[in-house]
Amino acid sequence: MTTKMSEARGKTILGIDPGLARMGYGVVVQTGNRMKAGEYGTLTTEAHAPLEQRLVVLFEKLNKVLKKTKPDVVAMEELFFSRNVKTAIAVGQARGVALLACGMAGVAVYEYRPVEIKQAVTGHGGADKDQVQKMVKLLLGLEEIPKPDDTADALAVAITHTQCSGTQLSEAIKKLSRNSVETRFLKR
């Protein structure tokens, strides 16, 4: 009985684009094959505040989002290797805070690599940021592209989960992106 009620109201997916200075979030509600945007925005921290305080701020703000939106699942962008080690570590710490908040809220987290997100949203794993943002606007019927970029990226992650979770397409995208990464690595 709960399943039927859940299907009637749709499945709520909270997408998260992790970051220390800006953490994008976006809710997509999926009912059957239809998607619509719920609440979305960006959580920010003060650049000159101590790291531990910034992480606490992100944790508290994300907890408020989780309580308000009550997602069925969370979709998060997986950490990718960055040339800037300091940035990669900061993003990793913010991801850890997001994972902790979701874990404490009892919400399952699904992770997607950037190439998987591009593939699911645009149909092309090599799409650029502008193409992804335009498709987010189109797929969700928004009047304009959500700003800043972190917000649009979070909605893209949520869309990816609606398109891929539990489907053969999901496994195909994972295989395609894995092969793509391995091919690029081997060509070096």
Active site residue 150: yes
Query: What residues have CB less than 8 Å from 148, skipping those under 6 apart?
Result: 22, 24, 42
Instruction: Mark whether 171 is an active-site residue.
Output: no
The answer to whether 40 touches 151, Cβ cutoff 8 Å, is: yes
Asked about 17 being catalytic, the answer comes back as: yes
- CA pair distance 187, 56, nearest whole angstrom: 42
Task: Identify the active-site residue in 52, 72, 111, 150.
Answer: 150
- Pairing relationship of beta strands 34-44 and 22-31 according to DSSP bridges: antiparallel
SS3 17: strand
Catalytic hit among 52, 77, 149, 182: 77
First to last CA, the chain: 54
Residue carrying the six token digits 């990226």: 153
Tell me which residues are annotated as active site: 17, 77, 150
